[in-house]
Structure 1
């Protein structure tokens, strides 16, 4: 070997493991939020559950396959070669195969992701171990007004002492069917935000079309009762206060008769009416 020192084996860059590990972490986070948990409902609508599960399984499988392939490459011993000047260098057997079949090869590895890619593991680890809460009073209070509701053909309300109603229906009726609400005792479900004065507060729901990013605020102004704590989920029984309500940014008012704190619903973005009596 002419007495020349043998070069040490060059380490494979850690960046090459970044992509498969990130795939595993992201897939595991999706599965944690969907399988055996309702956490995903904080971010997307319920109908996307099967697609999220399938995506999580696929990401985990792809990440494990990539990690396994990289481990095999790291365990494979390169072959010591010497160039024309007698200097030794390590050469992967895969380069010999590529040179024989494609007419070219490389003495070093160009593959893999940069090490900075490991920083992307932060969001995946956050979702995996520290689940952010669902949207609440901060989001509902940003606009200061309710989202527009579409006109609908409302059926006549059934007779009864109290009518449970979804917030969107109550708002829509206050705009397009006010006569149907006159004198009716209605029960609504939502979470609390502070009002513009001590005598008022708001009952809110956040309704999503696809995900939390497109959430729109449904809100009703409450008067006649002390405001519960902000973000508290309550059922409110009261009567619609007769007034003209804007169709563009509708915020009707209810004179409150009773307020009952309740548990947060399983799906906070589904504007369902409270349970019947």
Structure 2
């Protein structure tokens, strides 16, 4: 790979990292805590490329001053030799394709299609430590919880804090492939990046859930309702049923994942 190609790749790769970092689209790939690392990596790449370009320019100028002005031009055979090896420099340019994809195309966050196509099972809630106690639910008639927090409380909180308590949840609509008439509320939970994402799912039931049958997948909604006790079991992947009393659409959040 020629040095010019290396420098260009470094500039574009570093620029792509900085672009997704400062535009916020990095949240579609990694968790927020990795923002400083993206900025650092992108800055280092651009800086290395700049130093290499400046150095190459200086070397080229020094060589030009030192060249004999009466030296004969390169032979034709040498030019043909370079032309014969031109095809070898094509493969490095293929590395630019994912960079151009980042610059020109903003892929969406993982959603309903990822759940259906990947055949992923619902992520099991992590068990809190033996001495862990759940905090009291936020005050108000219907506190807002994340889907992960709600399911963790369903499975591990034996205090009955969710019994007959109205809760608000936010997520996107999923219609399972095996039963398209059924509607689930889903979020994708990641530990580090989108590569390890796993869905957290809740079955929606009740009169208000009937209107969601025709709602397109990936539509973001907020639902209010109560837990149907005893519905989250190991047999169904700890997916609880939520009897909803109200539902309305919301815009997709800037950070679509839970952690």
Residue 13 of structure 2 aligns to a residue whose secondary structure is helix
Question: CA 1:158/1:62 → structure 2, altered by over 3 Å: closer, same or farther?
Answer: closer
Once residues 98 and 55 of structure 2 are traced to their aligned partners in structure 1, the CA distance between those partners, rounded to angstroms, is: 25
Indicate the residue corresponding to 2:49 in structure 1: 63
> Which among 83, 94, 102 is matched to residue 127 of structure 1?
102
For structure 1, which segment, 23-32 or 122-131, has the greater mean C-alpha deviation from structure 2 after superposition?
A: 122-131
**Is residue 239 of structure 2 the alignment partner of residue 251 of structure 1?**
yes
Q: Which secondary structure does the structure 1 equivalent of 2:258 belong to? A: coil
Q: Aligned-pair distance for 1:66? A: 2.2
Q: Which structure 1 residue ranges, 5 or more long, are not aligned?
A: 1-13, 81-87, 91-107, 272-277
Please, which of 152, 161, 175 is the counterpart of residue 194 of structure 1? 175
> Cα RMSD over matched residues?
2.9
* Residue of structure 2 in register with 1:208 after alignment: 190
The number of residues matched between the two structures is 233
Are 2:17 and 1:30 equivalent residues in the alignment? yes
Q: Greater shift after overlay, 219-228 or 240-249? A: 240-249
- Once residues 90 and 181 of structure 2 are traced to their aligned partners in structure 1, the CA distance between those partners, rounded to angstroms, is 56
**1:157 correspondence with 2:137:** yes
Cα separation, partners in 2 of 1:129 and 1:158, compared to 1, 3 Å: closer
Counterpart of 2:165 (choices 184, 201, 212) is 184
Query: CA deviation digits over 1:206-233, x for unaligned, max 9?
Result: 1111111111211101123122221011
Tell me if the contact between 2:167 and 2:226 (Cα under 8 Å) persists in the aligned partners. Answer: yes
> What TM-score results when the alignment is normalised by the length of structure 1?
0.74
Instruction: Tell me which protein shows more helix as a share of its residues.
Output: 2
Q: CA deviation at 1:159?
A: 5.5
Matches within 5 A, 1:250-269: 250-269=238-257
Alpha-carbon distance between aligned partners in 1 of 2:107 and 2:201, rounded to the nearest angstrom:
23
Alignment-derived partner of residue 113 in structure 2: 138
C-alpha distance in structure 1 between counterparts of 2:104 and 2:34, whole Å? 22
Q: Which position in structure 1 is the counterpart of 2:217?
A: 230
Offset, 1:257: 1.1
Distance 1:198 1:134 in 2: 22
**Gaps in structure 2 of 5+ consecutive residues:** 75-81, 83-87
Is the contact between residue 145 and residue 250 of structure 1 (CA under 8 Å) also seen in structure 2? no
Displacement of 1:48 after TM fit?
A: 0.9
Distance of 1:62 and 1:252 partners within structure 2 = 52
CA distance in 2, matches of 1:144, 1:223: 22
Match of 1:103 in 2: none
Residues 120, 198 of structure 2: 8 Å contact kept: no
Match of 1:168 in 2: 148
Residue in 2 that maps onto 1:96: none
Q: Distance in 2 between matches of 1:254 and 1:200?
A: 12
Quick check: 1:240 aligned with 2:227?
Answer: yes
- In structure 2, what is the equivalent of residue 101 of structure 1? none
TM-score (norm 2): 0.79
Superimposed CA distance per residue, residues 35-66 of structure 1 (whole angstroms, 9 cap, x where no aligned partner): 2x111111111011111111111101111222
Say which one has the larger Rg.
Answer: 1
- C-alpha distance in 2 between matches for 1:79 and 1:158: 77
C-alpha spacing 1:144/1:120, structure 2 compared with 1 (3 Å): closer
